[in-house]
Amino acid sequence: MIPRLSLLIVLFLTTLAARAATLQIQDARVPEAPPVAPVLAGYLTLVNSGEKTVRVVGASSDQFEAVEIHEMHMKDGVMTMKPVPALTIPAGGKVSLAPGGLHLMLIRPHKPFRAGDTIRVMLKLDDGSTLAVNLPVKAGDDHTHHHH
Ligand SMILES: [Cu+2]
């Protein structure tokens, strides 16, 4: 009974890994913010090398209370942002999360992060699998002002 169950689990995990492997992550990063910052912004590019459209339908992290996918808009000269329900990455295409547009909103960190730390985010895909992404925290000029 137990060996058969573990074989099933191995097959299940292998299937998840195969699907997630069609998405490649590039340029993942989180600009360093003041230690008291209630939110951080995560940026990355998702490249779909597979033959099917992949949708990212959610995100989470053990290191934050919540993770949301946001998009920024300039409205009446003011930068605002709102949650996006899903990211759609077409087969052979890519979607970039970059300053001024789409970003991962990392909400209420459990501890402060400094340059050199790594933030781990789990992206939930539409087929039920998850993709782990490591985003290095970087110092520098990648400033984005968030208005919540
Ligand atoms: Cu945001």
pLDDT in tens, 103-146: 999 999 999 999 999 999 999 999 999 999 999 999 975 555 55
Gap from CA of 123 to ligand 1 centroid (Å): 16
Rounded to the nearest angstrom, the distance between the alpha carbon of 132 and the centre of ligand 1 is 20
Residue 135 and residue 119 in contact, taking contact as beta carbons nearer than 8 Å? yes
Sign of the Cα torsion 123, 136, 27, 104 reads positive
Read off the pLDDT of residues 14-24 as tens digits, 9 standing for 90 and up.
555 555 568 99
What's the pLDDT at 8? 65
pLDDT at 5: 65
pLDDT, tens digit, for every residue of 68-82? 999 998 888 898 999
The predicted pLDDT at position 75 comes to 85
Instruction: Give Cα 10 to chain centroid, integer Å.
Output: 25
Contact predicate 27/94, CB 8 Å = no
pLDDT at 73: 87
50: confidence class by pLDDT, cuts 50, 70, 90: very high
Question: How far, in Å, from the CA of 70 to the mean position of ligand 1?
Answer: 5
User: Which domains, ranges and CATH numbers included, belong to the chain?
Assistant: 2-138 (2.60.40.1890)
Distance 71 CA to ligand 1 centre (A): 7
Cα-to-centroid distance, 143 and ligand 1 (Å): 13
Q: What is the mean pLDDT of the chain?
A: 88
Q: Which residues of 26-45 are buried (b: 16+ CB within 10 A; e: fewer)?
A: eebbbbbbeeeeebbbbbbe
Q: How far is the CA of 103 from the centre of ligand 1 (A)?
A: 6
Model-level pTM? 0.80
